[in-house]
Structure 1
Amino acid sequence: MAGVISFDSSRVPMLCGDNFSNWKDKVLLALGCMDLDLVLRGDEPPMPTESSTQESKAVYKRWERSNRLSLILIKSNVSKSIRGSIPECDKVTDFMKAIEEQFVKSNKALASTLMQKLSGMKYDNSKSVREHIMEMRDIAAQLKSLEIEISESFLVNFILNSLPL
């Protein structure tokens, strides 16, 4: 394994709810650097039989090792509260899909909540106008991180409409 790049798996953040995209990027980097991403790069090879060649047995053994160690690494970097809501899976690809489905659902709900908050905001004199505008810009930035782009002119329109005449 001369081509394997060293990677400290403790650099993978704990998946805790609001960091899915960053967590996934770090997990994929870690698995790639540790040469454990074989399971993510191709389909499961056929399970060897008595008549299988040594080469096909070796391929399956490498795939099985990649799957087992990848599952260990991924599960160890998912908080227990999230892990409990994800069905038990024997394969990394199934486990990653299950995690992603959880976050697609929660991201849609979060995006809807943020849009409602942004569109319903009104300046109430409890803070400065600048702070009010910065809060609205922060919500727009959160929406952008959820891949919902709000144009600058649209945001300015929201801000102006939230201010008193």
Structure 2
Amino acid sequence: MIVLGCMDLDLALRTEKPAALKDTSTLDEKREMERWERSNRMSLMIMKRAIPESFRGTMSDEADAKSFLAELEKRFAKNEKAETSTLLSTLVSMKYKGKENIREYILEMSHIASKLSALKLILPEELLVYLVLISLPSQFNQFKVSYNCIKEKWSLNELISHCVQEEERIKQDKTESAHLASTSKGSNKRKIKEAANSGPPRKHHKETKEETKESGCFFCKGTNHKKKNCTKYHAWRAKKGLPELPKTN
């Protein structure tokens, strides 16, 4: 149809065939018949070329372009009830997941509603607004409550505008929350590191060794006496034949 219109060959599809020519027909009537016959002939050629070959043999060769197109439409006719059921089921089950643009999502729902209108199932705009709101995720709950609290009712265009603004606000809140979480995490890491660095200083290994040496027995490693009072040390010296050392308190 579009091709024929662009080529100015759709006259036979738009008008009925003119009355048969007579000897008394005027020049204008003859020209009109000539234009119609050319349009009819070219339209039939283009349509037959465009359809599958299996359909060509089932169509009458005597039909004019308008009758040919009407017969072709019958072959491709859909069950309106089944199509209506499918479209309505699609519309009421749609859910916005936040991946696509919300404006395009609402326009897609409106497009399905338009298809239903063409099938003689007309949905009021107010109902379509509620279907859109129901399909929005939990992030829009505050937005839904706000709409239910106001007295005025939005048109579909107003709903689209408000939804776009609300989606931008939600995205902005997510960005700010992510930034705060990242900042808080980095601050906690710094505090832990500072606390670790400011802990009690470790004693030097040499000092610890000297304290152990002064407070315990170097020979038996005991901690409650010193070497010069160690019985094991004195026994060892006696066994080696070394002179006995004086014991001290």
What letter matches 2:97 in structure 1? Answer: S
**Residue aligning to 1:43:** 17
Q: Which has the higher contact order (CA 8 A, sep 6+)?
A: 1
What letter matches 2:85 in structure 1? Answer: S
Q: Decide which of 99, 111, 133 is 1:141's aligned counterpart.
A: 111
- Asked if structure 1 preserves the Cα contact closer than 8 Å seen for 2:110 and 2:128, the reply is yes
Deviation of 1:88 after TM superposition, in Å, equals: 0.9
Counterparts of 1:164 and 1:38 in 2: how far apart (Å)? 52
Aligned CA-pair RMSD:
4.4
Percent of aligned positions that are identical: 24
**Residue aligning to 2:48:** 75
- Asked if structure 2 preserves the Cα contact closer than 8 Å seen for 1:67 and 1:92, the reply is yes
Q: How many residues align?
A: 129
Counterparts of 1:99 and 1:136 in 2: how far apart (Å)? 34
TM-score, length-normalised on structure 2?
A: 0.37
Alignment of 1:89-108 (within 5 A): 89=60, 90-102=63-75, 105=78
Counterparts of 2:73 and 2:126 in 1: how far apart (Å)? 32
Q: Mind listing any 5+ residue stretches in structure 2 that lack a counterpart?
A: 139-249
Would the alpha carbon gap of residues 122 and 65 (structure 1) be closer, same or farther in structure 2, given more than 3 Å must change?
A: closer
Would the alpha carbon gap of residues 122 and 43 (structure 1) be closer, same or farther in structure 2, given more than 3 Å must change?
A: closer
| Structure 1 residues 3-42: Cα deviation after superposition (integer angstroms, max 9, x where no partner) | xxxxxxxxxxxxxxxxxxxxx3x145235x24x6156423
| Structure 1 residues 36-80: Cα deviation after superposition (integer angstroms, max 9, x where no partner) | 61564233534x7xxx52859x5797244332222112333x342
TM-score, length-normalised on structure 1?
A: 0.50
Kindly indicate whether residue 89 of structure 2 is the aligned counterpart of residue 116 of structure 1: yes
Alignment of 1:3-42 (within 5 A): 24=1, 26-27=2-3, 29-30=5-6, 33-34=8-9, 37-38=11-12, 40-42=14-16
**Residue aligning to 1:21:** none
Deviation of 1:113 after TM superposition, in Å, equals: 1.1
Would the alpha carbon gap of residues 117 and 69 (structure 1) be closer, same or farther in structure 2, given more than 3 Å must change?
A: same
- Asked if structure 2 preserves the Cα contact closer than 8 Å seen for 1:118 and 1:139, the reply is yes
Counterparts of 1:39 and 1:162 in 2: how far apart (Å)? 43
Kindly indicate whether residue 60 of structure 2 is the aligned counterpart of residue 84 of structure 1: no
Counterparts of 2:25 and 2:48 in 1: how far apart (Å)? 30
- Asked if structure 1 preserves the Cα contact closer than 8 Å seen for 2:4 and 2:43, the reply is no
**Residue aligning to 1:156:** 129
